[in-house]
Amino acid sequence: MDKYGLIGYPLGHSFSIGYHNQRFADEGINAKYINFEIPSIDSLPEVLNSNPELKGLNVTIPYKEKVIEFLDYISPEARAIGAVNVIRVVHEGKNIKLRGYNSDVIGFTQSIEPMLESYQKKALVLGTGGASKAIAYGLKSLGIEPVFVSRYERPGTIQYGSITPEVVHEYPVIVNCTPLGMFPKVDTCPDLPYEAMDDKNILYDLIYNPDETLFMKLGAKQGASVKNGLEMLLLQAFASWEFWNGKE
């Protein structure tokens, strides 16, 4: 039986394990998806050596950037982003080769593209982690200029306190890549001038639990278009399968 899995720490509730195992069952695929909760990325070789049937991995927090040093190949897209969340495990005799990809870009761009209007040319990307880098890369590929928003003074970012109503109008697309509003802390949200938003804004939240975050609710109340991250996750998972099975 082939094995696939997820590496990260901590893992807690994982969308991937349920999705992939259900898909294997539905499509009669002789495979199993396993969570590998490893407290250090240095445990990756041990996971590979003790699971010779392993054909592919997903990578989540906090290893999307740290895993790169273990890879034999990294796709141009993943290299440009600086983060990997899909690994194809290739067995060549006794040798194991690891090929790294990024499915965040595919999932995000396919999910947000139908929402976009021609006048939406600039975006605020809330957060500066691995996911936000993929989102910024995806926005650029759609012809949208992204700006990172951080709580701290960092080069190439603006701070939440600098986001005025004028900024919200200039940057009509706003993507939340932070955990603010995620279950169980559903009464939190990024600090933005929501009252300045209107029907020209898109608020896209990478969070999918709850279905509608406070960030989305406050935007929708002003007429903004809103979407959570569930469709992105489904599209990412589908892309993972293609990467594992030979798509370059």
Cα angle at 86 between 134 and 2, to 5 degrees? 165
**Burial of residue 33, with CB atoms counted within 10 A of its CB: 0-12 exposed, 13-18 middle, 19 or more buried:** buried
Active-site annotation holder among 32, 64, 217, 247 = 64
Name every residue whose Cβ is closer than 8 Å to that of residue 193 and which is 6 or more positions away in sequence.
Answer: 163, 164, 165, 168
Count Cα atoms within 13 angstroms, Cβ side, for 142. Answer: 27
In angstroms, rounded to a whole number, what is the distance separating the alpha carbons of residues 16 and 34? 9
Count Cα atoms within 13 angstroms, Cβ side, for 16. Answer: 26
In this structure, is the dihedral angle defined by the CA atoms of residues 212, 213, 219 and 224, taken in order, positive or negative? negative
Q: Return the number of other C-beta atoms located less than 10 Å from residue 222's C-beta.
A: 15
Q: Find how far residue 186's CA is from the centre of its chain.
A: 20
Could you please report the per-residue DSSP string of 125-159?
EE--SHHHHHHHHHHHHTT-EEEEEESS--TTEEE
Verify whether residue 97 is a known catalytic residue.
no
Active centre residues (catalytic) = 64
